[in-house]
Structure 1
Amino acid sequence: MSYTAALAVVTIIFFTWGGLTSLNDVLIPHLKNVFQMNYTESMLIQSTFFGAYFLMSLPASKVVAMYGYKNSIVIGLIVAAIGAAMFFPAARLPSYPLFLSALFVLASGITLLQVSANPYISLLGDPAGAPSRLNLAQALNSLGTTVFPYVIGPLILAGAALSVDELAAKPVAEQIAYRAHEAASVQIPYMIIAAGLLLLAVFVYTMRIPSLAEATESADPVHHSFAEVLEQKHLFYGVIAIFLYVGAEVSIGSFLINYISAPEIGNMDHATASEHLPYYWGGAMVGRFIGAALLQRFDARRLLALFAVVAMVLLALTMLTQGTVSMWAVLAIGLFNSIMFPTIFTIAIERLGPMTSKASSLLIMGIVGGALIPLLQGVLSDRFGIQHSFVLPLACYAFIVWYGLSGSRIRAGQGQHANAQASGVMH
């Protein structure tokens, strides 16, 4: 099969895992209502999902080394399908711990897809065209995060959510029946997803796309340790920046439905609020195309800092205003999130030569910020309210501003291996 056809297959996978990740923003308000949880408890959804990135990234790299890129993609799709299928028994009980277990398995499969599909797509065809291929894959990933909440979100949030007081006023038998009915709304969507993932796995397995097993190990003749790699300050601060950026992006998305449905903000039900999620994630997709053009003309570090400053301004408006202004301010942040991950990643691995492979692993593990920052914002929301809790992502963007202007600069005596080329990684 031609490299072009293989590229098309892999970009479909990018689209799929982007959509699956964004569905967490729909699950959070839904399961919060089903199990009558506070914000801290509901944020365990993101902690479980993104915690898998931290725990499973190194095992995933060993799978790739053993089986090659193509077979690892197939395995990742099968594992993700198993996780999606686990939603059926989790909803039937219903059991929040089982929901979290299903999410962890699903995220483990996506982690393997991340570890295998990102380098695979960069190795397909002419190396000079790798950045273009990665940009296309990132755009398709963002399209998935935009489409899935819009198409599948209303299926999960179809019913009218009852408040804690309204549910408490009902007899115990009706409370149990209500929770069972609400939990069951995730069964059909996730079983369809499981079937789709299995079909995609069969499709990839049967297609004659290059395995590229010979390129699964990156040479490091000096055998640098992770500690030695982290001595490169622009990488060390880059790992922190990735951690904070992913945490801020995921945290904002996690609170969107609950926030914009509030009476003083958007005054709408959860199903209607879920239809606004595509503006946040779709903004990231549009911003990637705009950012790609801007990065050809302007310094990447300065542009990163500028986008983070605008995100801070929008968060300030989110915290200080109400109604339409506050709602659209928080949704607009997605547009300025767009270039942050690939830009931080690129400048963090700049001029690292043979250390690039280990540096990339460390940056991917930084995605665990998506597990911890939303949980912390959940604690703040329970104590001070959602609107005030946005001070946490605001602080995250402040660090990114500093990283773009100062922390990403390569110090004297570091980054000696000039002009090292590393493939980008999508979150």
Structure 2
Amino acid sequence: MANLAGSTSGVVNDAVSDQTSKSNTTPLVIVTILFFMWGLLTSLNDVLIPHLKAIYTLSYVQAMLVQFCFFGAYFIISWPAGMLIKRIGYQRGAVTGLVIAASGCALFYPASTSGYAVFLLAFFVLASGITILQVAANPYVTVLGDAKTASSRLTLTQAFNSLGTTIAPALGGLLILSGAVLSAEQFAAMPAVEQAAHKAKEAATVQGPYLALAGALLLLAVLFAFARLPKIEHSDSASTSNTSGQSVFAHRHLVLGAIGIFLYVGGEVSIGSFLINFLGESQIAALSAADAAHYVSYYWGGAMVGRFIGFAVMRYVSPGKALAFNAACSMALILTAIFSQGAVAMWAIIAVGLCNSIMFPTIFSMALHRLGALTGQGSGVLCMAIVGGAIVPFAQGFLADHIGLQMSFCIPAACYAFILFFGLKYAGMYNNDQQSTAA
């Protein structure tokens, strides 16, 4: 697993070959490009889920296999990714991740002519590349500056991740969902030959967009390979002063933070995954898939706006208190969406995106606080916890099939309840940096 120095111990050394690279601005800009790209790729899932559900007449649980395969890769690949990055370094690791992600995008072409199973394989390969980028980039950002502003700094880079997630649904709706979507009854009434032709036509709409993304990722990999980034190294003294054989799981705030990441990603992904179908419900907005996709952009756009706001606010407000406040607001909005109808329910669920804004970077940096030489291992644990994006939507899909889509949103509401607890428990985490790292 990658070995990083602690974010507050002051033992991280940035070995930069060029004296003009003393500033961390250039490395942050380069890493931020990666955040943008994986945001774009992740958010496109919200467009493809209803698209594939309609093409292959899937149940909600079957449709959620997209997120199960995509975010399941985080659980499977995170630990090997950490070992890979330890061996080849952060920069080469990022290039490797970009190439693998490009391969996943390229697989969408044969998937469109094969079937749903090949689509699921493509999602897994794509997510494997993104996982390597996550393992490398998130801890990189936390050490490129002062520890007390790590949450603020990671929030800023995540804002550009949200720019990608904001653009993707509208773009995907235009390029992928523009065709007429048949209901299950209409599709069943068609002759078998026409059914096959319709499936092939609709599936082929993903070919152009994902081949273009594959090319963009390969170009970014080439540019990133030749970029001049500081090498993050860990001094020998750090490895003896903080670990002495101690398990990373001995740090309670990391364990609770991993649970928080699991539930946050699960809740956020669940809402995005079901949003197009939710807005298509007759008692909510009765929107077509293509029209609803634009509102998914508002959901992710709220997170982008909130992250820019959070970047400034959390320089003065405790990250834990800001996290708890946003989690409480998320719960209130989801409950409003569950127990109301029409425009109130629609805008309530969309507004959860604004509250999501600071959650991932804040939980991530709080969980890594004062881990010292275990920071790299801690990052791997947190990235593995992103598997919540596979499990929670699957659970909500099960409920949606049995008790209805609207009531199934009680699942993400419960996720935010734990995040509220985590934020309140560690609201004063940064007030006394002289205390032991174990909570």
TM-score for the superposition, normalised by structure 2 = 0.87
- Name the aligned partner's letter for residue 379 of structure 2: S
For 2:282, which of 263, 286, 309 is the aligned residue?
Answer: 263
1:107 to 124, 127, 132: 127
User: Structure 1 residues 192 and 218 mapped into 2: Cα distance closer, same or farther (>3 Å)?
Assistant: farther
Q: 1:299 to 1:71 in 2, by over 3 A?
A: closer
> Does the 8 Å CA contact 2:169/2:296 hold for their aligned counterparts?
yes
Match of 2:415 in 1: 396
5+ residue gaps, structure 2: 1-17
Counterpart residue number, 1:206: 226
1:187-202 correspondence to structure 2 within 5 Å: 187-202=207-222
Moved more, 214-223 or 264-273: 214-223
Q: In the alignment, which residue of structure 2 is the partner of 1:56?
A: 77
* CA distance in structure 2 between the aligned counterparts of 1:18 and 1:252, rounded to whole angstroms: 16
Letter in 1 for 2:336: L
Q: How far apart are the structure 2 equivalents of 1:120 and 1:109?
A: 17
CA, structure 1 residues 28+327, in 2 after alignment: closer, same or farther (shift >3 Å)? same
Counterparts of 2:52 and 2:208, CA distance in 1: 16
Q: Deviations over 1:329-364 (max 9, x none)?
A: 000000001111122223223343343332222222
8 Å CA contact 1:234–1:408 kept in 2: the answer is no
Q: Is the 8 A contact 2:169 2:297 kept in 1?
A: yes
Q: Which runs of 4+ in 1 moved over 4 A?
A: 1-6, 121-133, 213-219, 222-226, 407-410
Distance 1:416 1:114, change over 3 A: same
Does residue 90 of structure 1 match 2:91?
A: no
Letter of the 1:235 counterpart: L
Offset of residue 52 of structure 1: 0.6
SS in 2 for 1:298: coil
CA drift of 1:260 comes to: 0.6
Q: What secondary structure sits across from 2:281 in the alignment? A: coil
Q: Secondary structure at the match of 1:275?
A: helix
Give the corresponding residue for 1:422: none
Gaps of 5+ in 1: 420-427
Secondary structure of residue in 1 paired with 2:89: helix
Q: Distance in 2 between matches of 1:187 and 1:218?
A: 52
- Cα distance 1:65–1:299, how it changes in 2: closer, same or farther (>3 A)? closer
Give the aligned partner of residue 244 of structure 1. Answer: 263
CA spacing shift, 1:123–1:351, aligned 2, 3 Å: closer
Match of 1:277 among 282, 296, 302: 296
AA at the equivalent of 1:73: A
Counterparts of 1:63 and 1:415 in 2: how far apart (Å)? 33
In structure 2, the partner of 1:72 is 93
Residue of structure 2 in register with 1:370 after alignment: 389
Is contact 1:232-1:415 (8 Å) kept? no
Aligned partners of 2:53, 2:85: CA distance in 1, in Å?
A: 36
Task: Supply the RMSD in Å over aligned alpha carbons.
Answer: 2.7
Q: Is residue 142–residue 281 contact of structure 1 (8 Å, CA) maintained in 2? A: yes
* Structure 1 pair 145–62 and aligned structure 2 pair: CA distance change class (3 A): same
Match of 1:169 in 2: 189
Aligned length: 414
Structure-2 separation of matches of 1:218 and 1:345: 25
Partner of 1:139: 159
Q: 1:6 to 1:354 in 2, by over 3 A?
A: closer
| Greater Cα shift, 122-131 or 268-277 | 122-131
How many Å apart are 1:217 and its aligned residue? 10
Aligned ranges 1:26-37 → 2 under 5 Å: 26-37=47-58
Provide the residue aligned with 1:182 in structure 2: 202
Match of 1:302 in 2: 321
9, 12, 20: which is aligned to 2:33? Answer: 12
Moved more, 42-51 or 293-302: 293-302
Q: CA deviation at 1:224?
A: 6.0
Q: What is the distance in 1 between the residues matched to 2:237 and 2:261?
A: 22
2:337 matched to 1:318?
A: yes
In structure 2, give the amino acid aligned to 1:393.
Answer: P
Identity of aligned residues (%): 50
User: Contact 1:234 / 1:348 at 8 angstroms: preserved in 2?
Assistant: yes
Deviation larger for 232-241 or 21-30 = 232-241
Q: Structure 1 stretch 41-50 or stretch 350-359: which is displaced more?
A: 350-359
Letter in 2 for 1:237: L
Q: What displacement does 1:292 show?
A: 2.6
Normalised by the length of structure 1, the TM-score is 0.90
Inter-CA distance 173–225: structure 2 relative to 1 (3 Å threshold)? farther
Contact 2:155 2:310 in 1 (8 A): no
> Which deviations, in whole Å up to 9, do the C-alpha atoms of 1:73-107 show, x marking residues without a partner?
111111000000000000012x1111010011100
